[in-house]
Amino acid sequence: MLESIKDPRDVRAIPAERLPQLATEIRQFLVEKVSATGGHLGPNLGVVELSIALHRVFRSPSDMIIWDTGHQSYVHKILTGRSTAFDSLRQENGLSGYPSRSESDHDLVENSHASTALSYADGLAKAWEQRGILGEQHVVAVIGDGALTGGMAWEALNNIAASSRPLVIVVNDNARSYSPTIGGLAHHLASLRTAPSYEKVIGWGKRVLNRTPVVGRPIYDALHGMKKGVKDVVAPQGMFEDLGLKYIGPVDGHNQADLEFALSLARDFNGPVIVHAITHKGHGYAPAEMDEADRFHGVGVIDPDTGKPLTSSGPTWTRAFSDELVAIGHDRSDVVAITAAMLGPTGLDAFAESFPDRIFDVGIAEQHAATSAAGLAYGGMHPVVALYATFLNRAFDQILMDCALHRAGVTFVLDRAGVTGDDGASHNGVWDMSMLQIVPDLVIAAPRDASTLRRALRESVDIADSPSVIRFSKGALPDPVHAIAEDRGVDILALHGNAEVCIVAVGAFARLGLDIAEGIRAQGIGVQVLDPRWVKPIPVALLDRAQDSNLVIVLEDGIRVGGVGAAISQGLRDRNNDVPVRNFGTPLAFLDHAKRAAILHSVGLNSQDITRFITEWMAQRNGAHSLHGEQAPSDYLK
């Protein structure tokens, strides 16, 4: 049956009694394809019936379905005619792991950051209202319970509820983000699932709603019966309806008929409606259902029958950080940790197990995480906030104004920094070193291996009067790279001859720097390789050593514009030194999904291209000097 689906119209043509067979085929297809390529398996297994129902009730792309954190859009892709491309899922030039505007008219947005769908939907509904087509065409936003912990989602709800514009919000409630969803909202959704008694609802209101800003007291008053009869108070949908949103549910998210009925009611209601669907992450696939950690949220290449990885991974950056933080926790009782709904993926699970009273999961709320961390610092603690590098972008204002302005001693640990690859443009963590260069007093460390990571973490938690950032790559730890000497905090990794060329190798690019040095050394060019370890501010020792070179090469796993290379160049100009600086980093562009190595090679971050550049530049420079006494033309460095 799956092979016959080329378009959502084919889904709508399937008799209702055959839909369970379609769901079974889709799950088998997902397990087969995703186990071969890796990807987000658990979330998609949980939304099979929901995706089918959405495409039977609504007419995509005339009706627009917007997926929050689009890793749950694989079934949507299958139903919109992209099943034949799944062998290339997350591969170079293949199918994206998220919605993609370039792939299909059925995809409106491709940002994979959470809690954004309701804002997109609100804006689209306003635009269609202005054009007079809202009502003829429907806007549907699908958001998970985990994403509803993000403040941006509630900002959007506040605006949506204040209007009468038709808009359907589907809450895909599986009680999880990466791991079980936490917080007051999670408690409320749990009460909706279980049809609680009056006393339980009131108890929840006392504990949680009074802590909810602005709307907390009105909602609690309503629940407590001040404005409603007892019958209405017991109705669990009160929280949403008091915001001005009609509520349908809870609905069994794996019952096709119930889903279609609920979605049809929502579609035909002339106003904003929430459809609350209860689903099970990993549904229908035993290995995922039995995985209590994250229900196979994201997997690598696995055995489709057992769910076991086909390749064993060695020590990782994440685990090295995790182990060292636990060791620090034993030494220092003031060190606490904050996660934004990613306890396991960021390596804070071990700290939580050792120190359960010193871990705070704030949900998908990076802005709150940063400012809450500042408050912890004001109170005499040293918080360590662990995030994926790409998600730090969401908290820039809080880092600038709430942490740095107040000189709060907060450590931000950025996992998956630099090019990450498979998950595409929105997951590459290439922005932080450029973005944070403009934050006064903040310091940044870029360790090159496990030992420098441990050292940087120890140093960072000793900083009490400014925020600090530690960034490291995705995946396996590289082999140790030992310094041959140290100059005022700068590690010297190699020194050959008179050091005509100075290579500054940032973080994970230490080995690349050494490979390049060997290549140009073979051409008779003197070279030194430096690892500053702390890349903001630029160490004085690095500038001292670089200014005596003929050419400075900077290798950084981030965008070149405004990054470490730019800071070194500015530092040398401030000394009235005009030594040429060539920055090798990622371009100012959104990089398509591919393996990390392939992306780095394509943007020129490889030993062969950079060695060739240096040898040709030095040859041209030396030739110019011998003929005219001039340096190489400046446009050669562009």
Among candidate residues 289, 366, 500, 556, the one labeled active-site is 366
User: 555 and 615: one domain?
Assistant: yes
**CA distances (Å), origin 463, targets 335, 360, 409, 443, 457:** 12, 21, 6, 10, 10
Among candidate residues 33, 165, 176, 394, the one labeled active-site is 394
On the question of pLDDT at 449 being above 60, the answer is yes
Other Cβ atoms within 10 Å of 2 Cβ, number = 14
Number of structural domains the chain divides into: 3
User: 384 and 262: one domain?
Assistant: no
DSSP notation for 488-499: TTEEEEEEETT-
On the question of pLDDT at 217 being above 50, the answer is no
User: In 3-state terms, what secondary structure has residue 67?
Assistant: strand
User: 265 and 408: one domain?
Assistant: no
User: 392 and 513: one domain?
Assistant: no
User: 445 and 563: one domain?
Assistant: no
Task: With cut-offs at 50, 70 and 90, classify the pLDDT of residue 199.
Answer: very low
Q: Is 371 inside a domain boundary? A: yes
Do the beta carbons of residue 222 and residue 239 sit within 8 Å? no
Q: Is 129 inside a domain boundary? A: yes
188-212 average pLDDT score: 45
359-369 average pLDDT score: 93
Q: What is the pLDDT of residue 105?
A: 92
Q: What is the pLDDT of residue 232?
A: 40
User: 285 and 321: one domain?
Assistant: no
The full length of the chain comes to 638
Q: Is 12 a catalytic residue?
A: no
User: 454 and 497: one domain?
Assistant: no
Q: Is 68 inside a domain boundary? A: yes
Element of type H or E holding 277: strand 272-278
212-231 average pLDDT score: 41
User: 431 and 518: one domain?
Assistant: no
Q: What is the pLDDT of residue 485?
A: 97
Helices assigned H by DSSP within 332-388? 349-354, 366-378
Q: Is 394 a catalytic residue?
A: yes
User: 124 and 156: one domain?
Assistant: yes
Q: What is the pLDDT of residue 118?
A: 94
Q: Is 159 inside a domain boundary? A: yes
201-219 average pLDDT score: 44
CATH code of the domain covering residue 461: 3.40.50.970
Q: Is 303 inside a domain boundary? A: no
User: 458 and 509: one domain?
Assistant: no
Do the beta carbons of residue 343 and residue 352 sit within 8 Å? yes
On the question of pLDDT at 293 being above 70, the answer is no
184-212 average pLDDT score: 46
CATH code of the domain covering residue 552: 3.40.50.920
User: 132 and 253: one domain?
Assistant: yes
User: 40 and 149: one domain?
Assistant: yes
Examine residue 99 and say whether the peptide bond preceding it is cis (omega within 30 degrees of 0).
no
Q: Is 191 inside a domain boundary? A: no
Among candidate residues 82, 165, 176, 281, the one labeled active-site is 281
Q: Is 427 inside a domain boundary? A: yes
Q: Is 223 inside a domain boundary? A: no
Per-residue pLDDT tens over the stretch 72-122: 888 998 999 898 888 888 888 888 887 888 888 998 987 668 888 999 999
Per-residue pLDDT tens over the stretch 558-600: 999 999 999 999 999 999 999 999 999 999 999 888 889 999 9
Q: What is the pLDDT of residue 295?
A: 61
**CA distances (Å), origin 345, targets 207, 242, 340, 475, 531:** 30, 36, 10, 11, 28
SS3 content of the chain, % helix, strand, coil (to 5): 45, 15, 35
Q: Is 32 a catalytic residue?
A: no
490 vs 154, higher pLDDT: 490
pTM: 0.81
Range of the domain at 533: 493-637
Residue 304 tokens, joined: 């489709």
